[in-house]
Structure 1
Amino acid sequence: MGTAPAPSGPVVESDQPGPGSGHWLRVARETAEDLATDAVARDQAGKPPFDEVSRLRESGLLTLLVPADLGGGGGDWTEAYAVVREIASADGAIGQLLGCHYFTSWSARFLARSALGARLERRSAAEGWCWGGGLARQEPALGLTRDTRGHVLNGRQSYAAGVLVADRLAVRAVRAGTGEPVAVVVDPALAGVAVDGDADPFGQRLAAGGSAEFDAVPVAADDVLGSLAADEDVLSPRTALLSPVGRLLSAQLRLGMAEGVLAEAREYSRTGHAHWHPDWPVGSPQDPQVLTAYGELTVLTRSASALADEARQAVQGGLARGEDLTYEDHAEISVLVAMAEAAASRAAQESTARALDIIGARSASARLGFDRFWRNARTHTLYEPVGHRLRDVGDYFLNGAHPAFVLPV
């Protein structure tokens, strides 16, 4: 796999006592190269990604965000974003799966009481859990009802990633009576949980999306992590960082797809063939139209990359401030992430579509698999459309309005 024209952000060593960003980025690149070797075949087969999760588990990437003293990789979000972007450059669906895992598992620690969060993370690292599900608002909502044993969870919802292969699900439920939304951890092996691979998307086929039905599933007190209420008297600026942290994952995923398709298209243009199909030639790499197209897409992707790096620094700074963060600080971070998400969306959609034009009619070959980049990017941008994000940016710029607390799908 060639080096992408728009490289990932600078490697910054983590403050935590783990291996450091350099290590995790090397591991991510090795894993991405492994995934790239059979990406086309796996995409076309469309099987649940149990093998891919095993590759992530064996590489240690699943434990990256778990503190080192709890048995994990001791990484931070700077490293996690770079890893997701690198994996997405080879396989957008697995990049989304890994991003979902990072966000849901980290949210469990972030929302839970300190001791409970530590217990969850220690066990997650020790047993190599892959997390799935989602905390975004959906209707009808899952219901959490108190009974003589504690609580039970009921309802059915769809999730974009992870649900088919997850060892734990993090889901949003509404308390009966009060209507308070809370985050709940569920073991999908419990009686009453039924997982269905009914998503059937045309892209992101290996993201393990689907639906989960909960029929009187018992929920212990420690499985209820914390409130997701958006009221300012409940939602602190620190807790509200859940939204930009997750949304920046979406931007990194899109940038990875843009970089990945440009890297593969460049390899095809330079060598005159795809490295896995040497009998499929292409035209001259000196074609002025080809050079102009690559120039435009490189500028577009690098510009989005620079904005994502600025947003990443803002998110990391907000997390470091903790309880000292203000609502205005949070609004500024959220708007910057929304800008990065919008720019990355444009870069991904234009790069994955126009790369097909650069290659020409040969790109229609299913054997080459260039279409998977477009299908993956388009599917993800349908899950997470940027129209609302652009309105947030405009409303903040014009009126100073703070963006709403909206978690990523």
Structure 2
Amino acid sequence: MSLVIPLPRHELTDEAPASPPVHHTVESLAQSLAATAVERDRAGGHAAHERELIRASGLLTLTIPKAHGGQGADWATMYQALRRLAEVDSALAHLFGFHHLQLAGVRLYGTPDQQSRLLRDTVTQRWFWGNALNPLDKRLRATEVNGGYLLHGTKSFASGSVGSDQLTVSAWHEPTQSLLIGAVPTRRDGVSVQADWDAFGQKQTDSGNVDFHEVLIGHHEVLQAPGTTPTPKATLRSQVAQLVLVNLYLGIGLGAFHEARRYTREEAKPWFASGVTHSSDDPFVQQRYAELWLRLRPAIALADTAAALLDQAFRRGDEVTARDRGEVAIAVAEAKVLAHRAGVEVSSQLFELTGARSTSARYGLDRFWRNVRVHTLHDPIDYKLRDIGRHVLTGAWPEPTAYS
């Protein structure tokens, strides 16, 4: 009996169920990415063709509200799509998820006019968004000038920047000791994207540095001005981001599990002392697969719960309270811890079940561990555990930051 994780058909609007084409489109794209995933993981670099496959799929408009010309999908639908793509290619899934994260920033920070302009242009001009919003990197400075701000400096870990059309960017404003957040075209004069990402995993996430040399960002492009106190609604962006990571880790874990299971069924040789003809009949192998599945299953359940709570908060709009936000943050933290552990453990332990022959480079099974090991270093789960433990003991909600 096979374990199948279907793509649930969540709502495309607040009222209507998702139509089957979303599921079919995601599956078709996943199969296209899977065909070259192992080879591209070895090669690294910029996956220009595969990015165009994502663009051509129409899925870049998935979370854009119908009022702005998009498909109006909820976050649960997007995360299910992201998870499925991550099963076969977590680097390209990363780009897909971070694109929608930038759109979430426009919806959470932007004025109605900014949302209308940027979201509609994303649909009509088929924009692919990149991220230059690393909040811990304060080397990019914003200086106020007539009509806006000048940006000068560098941003690191700029996922999806290579080949992007638009960037969400944060810059440090010294007078107010706070961040400016805005949106600028990637090809604007003074913006220089460096294709210098060289980690041993997530090789095709285009996550290098972006240099800004006296780049003008107009007031109309500033989504959050320096010195602004974010509302509970605005602070949901970090939860959107964290759930992107959760579902990337889960997708990698599921991809590793499914590939290991296929190998065990079709190619693995049973251990001589097992007394069985097929490795899949070895009770010790069966027990270990059960243990790995029980790492994944609760993480999936908590991830789906967190996505549902995030959708509820989005529907509340400006009425989101600190408590609403806190409930989402705790649910996301719980899912993050379990997804982190599941992804790392499944992608590592699979080799103990598949054996020495499975380490051949032609299978590329090591990519799952490399990818999840690199990505789970994004921010420490120790602080998620702290937030959960503090809430359990004192009832305190996580302090809103760019990571919690």
What's the TM-score bracket when you normalise by the shorter of the two chains? over 0.9
Residues of 2 paired with 1:331 and 1:9: CA distance?
28
Residues of 1 paired with 2:226 and 2:384: CA distance?
20
1:5-404 alignment, distance < 5 Å: 5=3, 7=5, 10-15=8-13, 20=18, 22-227=20-225, 234-272=229-267, 284-404=279-399
Partner amino acid for 1:33? Q
1:15, CA displacement in angstroms? 2.2
1:283, CA displacement in angstroms? 6.2
**TM-score under structure 1 length normalisation:** 0.91
Tell me the residue number matched to 2:274: none
Residues of 1 paired with 2:338 and 2:349: CA distance?
16
Question: Compared with structure 1, are the counterparts of its residues 31 and 8 closer, same or farther at alpha carbon in structure 2 (3 Å cutoff)?
Answer: same
Cα shift readout 1:363-403 (whole Å, capped 9, x = no counterpart): 22111100001100101001233111111111111122221
Note if contact 1:195-1:211 (Cα within 8 Å) is conserved in structure 2: yes
Partner amino acid for 1:219? I
Q: Which runs of 4+ in 1 moved over 3 A?
A: 16-19
SS in 1 for 2:170: strand
Residues of 1 paired with 2:179 and 2:17: CA distance?
37
Partner amino acid for 2:387? D
SS in 2 for 1:144: strand
SS in 2 for 1:12: coil
1:338, CA displacement in angstroms? 0.4
Q: Relative to structure 2, which stretch is displaced further, 378-387 or 9-18? A: 9-18
Note if contact 1:363-1:371 (Cα within 8 Å) is conserved in structure 2: no
Structure 2: 5+ residue runs without aligned partners? 269-276
Residues of 1 paired with 2:373 and 2:393: CA distance?
30
Cα shift readout 1:184-228 (whole Å, capped 9, x = no counterpart): 112121121111122201000011110001110011111111258
Q: Relative to structure 2, which stretch is displaced further, 316-325 or 65-74? A: 65-74
Question: Compared with structure 1, are the counterparts of its residues 403 and 44 closer, same or farther at alpha carbon in structure 2 (3 Å cutoff)?
Answer: same
Question: Compared with structure 1, are the counterparts of its residues 117 and 76 closer, same or farther at alpha carbon in structure 2 (3 Å cutoff)?
Answer: same
1:8, CA displacement in angstroms? 5.4
1:11, CA displacement in angstroms? 2.3
RMSD, aligned CA: 2.2
1:25, CA displacement in angstroms? 2.3
SS in 1 for 2:83: helix
Q: Relative to structure 2, which stretch is displaced further, 207-216 or 319-328? A: 319-328
1:31, CA displacement in angstroms? 0.6
Question: Compared with structure 1, are the counterparts of its residues 406 and 356 closer, same or farther at alpha carbon in structure 2 (3 Å cutoff)?
Answer: farther
1:16, CA displacement in angstroms? 5.3
**TM-score under structure 2 length normalisation:** 0.92
Cα shift readout 1:138-157 (whole Å, capped 9, x = no counterpart): 23342111223532111111
Q: Relative to structure 2, which stretch is displaced further, 15-24 or 74-83? A: 15-24
Cα shift readout 1:77-136 (whole Å, capped 9, x = no counterpart): 111111111100110111111111110122123211001111101111111111111434
Residues of 2 paired with 1:130 and 1:188: CA distance?
10
1:352, CA displacement in angstroms? 0.5
Cα shift readout 1:43-100 (whole Å, capped 9, x = no counterpart): 1111202111100011111111122342322212111111111100110111111111
Q: Relative to structure 2, which stretch is displaced further, 211-220 or 354-363? A: 354-363
Note if contact 1:84-1:95 (Cα within 8 Å) is conserved in structure 2: yes
Q: Relative to structure 2, which stretch is displaced further, 331-340 or 128-137? A: 128-137
Question: Compared with structure 1, are the counterparts of its residues 283 and 353 closer, same or farther at alpha carbon in structure 2 (3 Å cutoff)?
Answer: farther
Question: Compared with structure 1, are the counterparts of its residues 176 and 18 closer, same or farther at alpha carbon in structure 2 (3 Å cutoff)?
Answer: farther
Residues of 1 paired with 2:112 and 2:214: CA distance?
28
Total equivalences in the alignment: 396
Residues of 1 paired with 2:278 and 2:145: CA distance?
69
Question: Compared with structure 1, are the counterparts of its residues 227 and 148 closer, same or farther at alpha carbon in structure 2 (3 Å cutoff)?
Answer: closer
Partner amino acid for 2:166? R
Partner amino acid for 1:263? H
1:9, CA displacement in angstroms? 6.3
Note if contact 1:248-1:312 (Cα within 8 Å) is conserved in structure 2: yes
Note if contact 1:18-1:74 (Cα within 8 Å) is conserved in structure 2: no
Identity among equivalent positions (%) equals 35
Residues of 1 paired with 2:226 and 2:71: CA distance?
27
1:324, CA displacement in angstroms? 2.4
Residues of 2 paired with 1:215 and 1:17: CA distance?
46
1:165, CA displacement in angstroms? 2.0
Residues of 2 paired with 1:75 and 1:201: CA distance?
33
1:179, CA displacement in angstroms? 2.5
Partner amino acid for 2:265? R
Tell me the residue number matched to 1:278: none
Note if contact 2:12-2:73 (Cα within 8 Å) is conserved in structure 1: yes
Note if contact 2:132-2:210 (Cα within 8 Å) is conserved in structure 1: no
Residues of 2 paired with 1:341 and 1:228: CA distance?
30
Residues of 2 paired with 1:84 and 1:65: CA distance?
12
